[in-house]
């Protein structure tokens, strides 16, 4: 891999069936070790139950407050500066419990690929 600078492109934000908005900040086939996306969850919204097959995910909360639910842990309040570690293939979701948008970086290792995403809504 060569040195690189990847600029965030806010105009490339898209809405997902997971019920959140995503900007892919760094997700390249020539950098398979990790990917970084910025997620935005609107107030009062809970993302769908899901898991990422063979991908560990970390949420770094950068704005707002939320309640994260991860199989094997009690629901836990999170806020700015908190890091949530979600092992590969572990069911998860997050609720924006505040009045403002909940923003966090989703850091995946190895990098996120759409085929790894499994919706679990209605199966929990």
Q: Coil, strand or helix: which one is 11?
A: helix
Per-residue pLDDT at 2:
78
What integer is the mean pLDDT of 75-81? Answer: 98
Contacts of 57 (CB under 8 A, 6+ apart): 85, 86, 92, 106, 107, 108, 112
- What is the percent of the chain with per-residue pLDDT over 90, rounded to a whole number? 87
pTM: 0.93
Of residues 95 and 30, more confidently modeled: 95
Residue 78 predicted with pLDDT over 70: yes
Residue 94 predicted with pLDDT over 80: yes
Say which DSSP state 44 is in: T
Superfamily of chain region 13-118: Jelly Rolls (2.60.120.10)
Tens-digit pLDDT profile for residues 14-57: 999 999 999 999 999 989 999 999 999 999 999 999 999 999 99
Listed by start position, the domains of the chain span 13-118
> Per this entry, what is the length of the chain?
124
Per-residue pLDDT at 124:
56
Query: What is the token pair recorded at 63?
Result: 């704005």
Query: At 6, is the pLDDT very low, low, confident or very high (cuts 50, 70, 90)?
Result: confident
CA 81 from chain centre, in angstroms, equals: 15
CA distance 123 to 52: 15
Rg (CA), the chain: 14
């Amino acid at each position: 891999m060569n040195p690189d600078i990847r600029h965030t492109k806010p105009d490339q934000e898209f809405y997902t069936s997971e019920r959140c908005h995503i900007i892919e900040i760094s997700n390249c086939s020539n950098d398979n070790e990790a990917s970084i996306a910025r997620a935005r969850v609107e107030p009062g919204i809970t993302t769908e139950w899901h898991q990422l097959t063979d991908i560990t995910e970390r949420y770094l909360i950068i704005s707002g407050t939320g309640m994260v639910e991860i199989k094997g842990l009690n629901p836990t309040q999170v806020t700015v500066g908190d890091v949530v570690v979600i092992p590969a293939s572990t069911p998860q979701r997050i609720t924006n419990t505040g009045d403002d948008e909940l923003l966090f970086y989703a850091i995946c290792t190895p990098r996120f690929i759409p085929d790894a995403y499994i919706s679990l809504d209605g199966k929990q």
